[in-house]
Amino acid sequence: MSEINTPDSQNIIALVNCTNNIVDVFKELNLPVKDVVCYNDGDELISAFEKGEKIAAVVSQSEILAPGGVQLIEAIKKAKRDIPPFFLVVNHLSGNLRKLALESGVVDVFWQPLVNQNIESRINFTLAQWSKLKTNLAKEVPTPKKTPIGKRIFDIIFAGGVLLALSPLFLIIYLAIKLESRGPAFYYSLRVGTGYNVFKFYKFRSMYVNADQRVKDLKHLNQYTIDSQNKQEKSASDNTNFLCAECTVYGKCQFPVHADKVTWCEKQYISSKREAGDSAFFKIKNDPRITKVGNFIRNTSIDELPQLWNVIKGDMSIVGNRPLPLYEAEKLTTDKYALRFAAPAGITGLWQVEKRGKGEMSEEERLMLDNYYAEHHSIWNDARVILKTIPALLQKEQV
């Protein structure tokens, strides 16, 4: 890589989560920096900033809604007030995803396969004009959508009151989970809520911490064909890190669920269940992966109660559209689907109270209800949903 003698030539380009071929591409570019340095993840990058490393730009190989995307730029903003230009290298891109990235502070998004000449010219232009560009970008970024003040006041009062009233129940559930199985009483996964905001979504743990590993122990209950059995057993035994194909490209999970220092890929876990369809492999009565306490708190929806803390924090409301996993939200970025993200994210909502006792809803039915709520939500409509939620909780959900 040839160097250009500029005042910034002592700085470096920081590559995050990048595969070898991406690293090779950037090392061949003619950029006004001293070197290209690779960081395994966002934590290493944040540490570099804290140590005073002179970073001219950050390039993260990550999908926009994954941990190395808009979440990473938010983490950098918290750690460093004056952040350098931030670029993304993605596999998937749409108009709304690009808009979301730019509104979050991403300067540019490179769509694979990469074209060296385009990347070189765009990065060089950004670095040369950064003092002007960052001022304009700060003016153009819109203020995030806020929950209406009346709804926010209701959320805080309602959630705070319920947390206080149910604190003895929380303690009992906490102790019961800890006594029955090792591991934490709570876990969290990442969810996408209002305006595609990503946050930590809390629940009581209802499964053993090695639930995924127990999949291979259920083969005697499986009704698959022999080929399907072999495929599932191989998946359970070989994928010890539970990485889906997309995460394997990055070398680490982009859609993690966290508990007791154990991280597994939520996308892989859900995909495996969907591939199983209605077979006995994942539709097992008295599923041994679920604890006895877990079975009770699932059927009574008590496992959802820690989300009241998300309400207090402002991540969610009591009533709204259900926040989605990152890999699902990435697919819902067209104008038709994006409307649902204009509404507050909620613990309960229209499709939750409608689906109870009626089996599975189609995606179109859920979308219709989510979009309807986005256009018509109000305190009075929220009150109706809450009143319908109470009897709905008494019905056993078919999982």
Joined together, the tokens standing for residue 236 give 């359970």
**Integer Cα distance of 35 and 3 in angstroms:** 9
**What residues are paired with 199 via a beta bridge?**
191
Q: How far apart are the first and last CA of the chain?
A: 56
Residues 22 and 101 in one domain: yes
Whether 4 is in a domain gets the answer no
Domains in the chain: how many in total?
A: 3
User: What pLDDT does 309 receive?
Assistant: 94
Residues 89 and 168 in one domain: no
**What residues are paired with 191 via a beta bridge?**
199, 325
Q: How far is CA 309 from CA 230, 317, 353, in A?
A: 42, 10, 21
**Integer Cα distance of 122 and 110 in angstroms:** 10
Positions of the chain with pLDDT lower than 50, given as ranges: 1-8, 141-144, 219-242, 273, 275-283, 357, 397-399
Whether 3 is in a domain gets the answer no
CA angle 203, 204, 208 (to 5 degrees): 115
Whether 89 is in a domain gets the answer yes
For the chain, the residue count is: 399
CA angle 84, 85, 90 (to 5 degrees): 135
Joined together, the tokens standing for residue 156 give 């805080």
User: What pLDDT does 270 receive?
Assistant: 59
Residues 171 and 34 in one domain: no
User: What pLDDT does 91 receive?
Assistant: 84
Residues 94 and 35 in one domain: yes
Instruction: Answer for the pair 88, 119: CB distance below 8 angstroms, yes or no.
Output: no
Strands 186-192 and 256-259: antiparallel
Q: Determine the structural domain holding residue 256 and report its residue range.
A: 208-289
Q: Which residues contact 109 (CB under 8 A, 6 or more apart)?
A: 64, 87, 88, 90, 93, 98, 101
Of 289, 313, 333, which residue is a domain's last? 289
**Integer Cα distance of 150 and 375 in angstroms:** 17
User: What pLDDT does 298 receive?
Assistant: 86
User: What pLDDT does 208 receive?
Assistant: 80
pTM, entire model: 0.60
Residues 83 and 159 in one domain: no
Q: What's the burial of 340, exposed, middle or buried (CB within 10 Å: 0-12/13-18/19+)?
A: buried
Residues 113 and 64 in one domain: yes
Residues 67 and 136 in one domain: yes
Whether 7 is in a domain gets the answer no
- In 3D space, the residue among 135, 127, 119, 137 whose CA is nearest the CA of residue 29 turns out to be 119
Whether 66 is in a domain gets the answer yes
